Amino acid sequence: MALCRSLREPGGAVFPGRKLRNLRGAEIRVLLKQGNIASDWGELRVLEDFSPLRVYGSFFLGPCILGVFAEKTHRVGRASFPSGIFYSSLSNVIVGDEAFIHRCPLVSRCVVDAEASLADCRVEGEDSSSFGNGMLLGAGIETGGRTVPAFYDLDCATAEAAARGKLDAEELKGFLAAYAGAACLPSSYVGKKSVIHGAGLVSASFIGPGVRIRGAARIRGSTLCGGENAEVEIGAGCLIDEAIVRPGCRFDSQALVSRSFFADCSGALRQAKVTESWIGPNTSIAEGEVTAAFVGPFVSFHHQSLLIAAFWPGGRGNVGHGANVGSNHSSRTADGELWAGEGMFFGLGCNIKYPADYSCSPYTVIASGVTTLPQRVEYPFSLIIPQEGGCPGISSGVSSGIPSDIPPAIPPGCNRLIPAWVLSDNFYLVERCKRKFAQRSRTPHLVQEFDPLHAGAIRLMGEARKRLAAVEKPKDLYFPGEVPGLGGNILLERDRLRAIQTYDWFIRFAWLRDLLRPPCGGKGGDGGEAGEGAGSPPAEAAEEYLACLERLCRLVAEARQKDAILGEKIIPDYADFHARPEEDECVAAVRDFAEAEKRRVGALYARAGGGF
């Protein structure tokens, strides 16, 4: 905002405190000799130490202010060029020190800050633009109603609160109007050291520092700003209209973006289409379509698929190839919506009917080819498969190993829900997610939770366990409505009993983990000391905790072993080209953590004069 205020003054932000003057006669003669033309040389103003020697073959129309071009060189492809203005047309432009403008057919109503680089592009401004700030996005319901404000300083918590309707509508409206007014400028802006090369058109946009635009087709009515070690990159063929883009974002390969907000280190790649959506940090949309959606952090979306009218603040999930997460049109109006749970895995070719609420089912897997009913499911870490049990794999060849013994008298459309299946049979997914999020995070300045077994997930496990245990008359098969939270799915008695045991075990493990966790600031593993200053937990608790870690190691290895067994049965030389399960990076990391924890906890009790 401070930059926008200073940009309203002629040369204010670009030449603060420096005096401007008119061209001297000798300078005009040099400029003419070098092939330059002006509608009125008297309208050009320059800095006191301006030299015309790096201005060639250009046309100046209307008031222009030029800085000093003397030392800096700029790279265009593999060639280096000196700073200056070459073979371009400029109208109502301010050009900062050591900037570079080369073969640009038109640069008009624009502030080009120091050391910015423009080549083979068209950059234009408007009489008045707020660069996308102040929009209200229909992120969550395609027909509107659930709205998210869009302004550059928007944080994740405020965005989610707005989408949930927790902000006062009138106060928000007033704030957005004030923010848009403060951001409003009578020109476009290209920030210090930013690059625009080979762009078809950049119009009414605020291109802040740390932005690299190479080959974009069009950028219009948008705000793009990079940060320290977090440049914004816009690549070939991209069309970006009315977008707010935070530091570290990347767009490439003809991505199409309209009326959307991209949080830090997110982006759109490989012909992705993103419209009327809020995209959270570290989420990259590739190839598929996202429309009217609120997508949280760390979502993997790398294939042709659809996500529409989805409210997914927890993010951290996966949308597989061909997944149709978007049956939001009832044939009457497109006002259906989905609430997705954190970490949900939408398998290949699944079809998700709306309305649907999986917000209380974090890290649930919907298997390949499943068509779900409109429903509310409230069982975390679960699996949904077709009722006939005929799902040979969940995704990427991962075997479910689930027998097909479901009676034929089940209503059509119902699927089978297996609560806690991810915990009992696919814990590798949980551990891989934890490490994947930590490794892929490029936003250390944001508060982030990497462990799927966080307090909120444990609380949901407890609630799910109570619903399963509340069954008064056990039977072999439960239909929708007979157990709360099943949605449009069936539940087998053996799955219910096993889920109760699994939830119990993981709730107990989480309690032990927290009891023995190093204090705030401790490193865990070999560093940090649990319970210092408050006495050590009982040795029995430590022994049980370490035994739990050993079991988790087995669960992770066994889940990975399923892939090896299936692969070796089918692929003749599978073992020659795939690492053994015990050599898997995630399996090894879990084992290393368990060993480090054993040393840490053992050392703690040794210092306390005890042992176990």
Domain boundaries, the chain: 517-612
Given this model, what pLDDT does residue 406 score?
A: 55
Question: Is residue 282's pLDDT more than 90?
Answer: yes
DSSP string for 1-29: -HHHHHHTSTTTTTSTT--EEEPPHHHHH
Half-sphere exposure of 231 (CA within 13 A, CB side): 13
Q: What is the mean pLDDT of residues 447-471?
A: 95
Bridge-partner residues for 318, per DSSP?
300, 345
Lowest mean pLDDT among 41-45, 91-95, 151-155, 607-611: 607-611
Query: By three-state DSSP, how is residue 302 classified?
Result: coil
Burial of 473 by CB count in 10 Å (0-12 exposed, 13-18 middle, 19+ buried)?
exposed
Summarize pLDDT for 13-25 with one digit per residue, the tens.
788 888 999 999 9
Given this model, what pLDDT does residue 604 score?
A: 81
Lowest mean pLDDT among 87-101, 119-133, 307-321, 439-453: 439-453
Q: Of 388, 459, 391, 458, whose CA–CA distance to 423 is shortest?
A: 458
Given this model, what pLDDT does residue 535 score?
A: 55
Given this model, what pLDDT does residue 448 score?
A: 84
Distance CA 75, CA 57 (A): 20
Q: What is the pTM of this model?
A: 0.92
With cut-offs at 50, 70 and 90, classify the pLDDT of residue 328. Answer: confident
Residue 1 · residue 182 · CB < 8 Å: yes
Helix H, strand E, coil C: the string for 391-435 is CCCCCCCCCCCCCCCCCCCCCCCCEEEECCHHHHHCHHHHHHHHH
Q: What is the mean pLDDT of residues 178-186?
A: 94
Summarize pLDDT for 506-552 with one digit per residue, the tens.
999 999 999 998 765 444 444 444 444 345 678 899 999 999 999 99
Average pLDDT of every residue of the chain: 91
Q: How far is C-alpha 275 from the geometric centre of its chain's CA atoms?
A: 15
Given this model, what pLDDT does residue 41 score?
A: 97
Given this model, what pLDDT does residue 402 score?
A: 59
Summarize pLDDT for 341-393 with one digit per residue, the tens.
999 999 999 999 999 999 999 999 999 999 999 999 999 999 999 986 443 33
Question: Is residue 409's pLDDT more than 80?
Answer: no
Q: Label the pairing between strands 73-76 and 79-82.
A: antiparallel
Neighbours of 52 (CB within 10 A): 23
Q: What percent of the chain has pLDDT over 70?
A: 91
Given this model, what pLDDT does residue 13 score?
A: 78
Q: Of 21, 29, 86, 99, whose CA–CA distance to 54 is shortest?
A: 86
* Greater pLDDT, 255 or 399: 255
Summarize pLDDT for 470-515 with one digit per residue, the tens.
999 999 999 999 999 999 999 999 999 999 999 999 999 999 999 9
Query: By three-state DSSP, how is residue 97 classified?
Result: coil
* Greater pLDDT, 403 or 106: 106
Dihedral-angle region of residue 41 (phi above 0 means left; psi in -120 to 50 means alpha; beta otherwise): alpha
With cut-offs at 50, 70 and 90, classify the pLDDT of residue 332. Answer: confident
Look at the block and give the residue holding tokens 């309209």: 258
Given this model, what pLDDT does residue 115 score?
A: 97
Neighbours of 161 (CB within 10 A): 15
Q: What is the mean pLDDT of residues 155-166?
A: 96
Distance CA 261, CA 277 (A): 6
DSSP label of 532: T
Given this model, what pLDDT does residue 10 score?
A: 63
Q: What is the mean pLDDT of residues 120-133?
A: 96
Question: Is residue 169's pLDDT more than 60?
Answer: yes
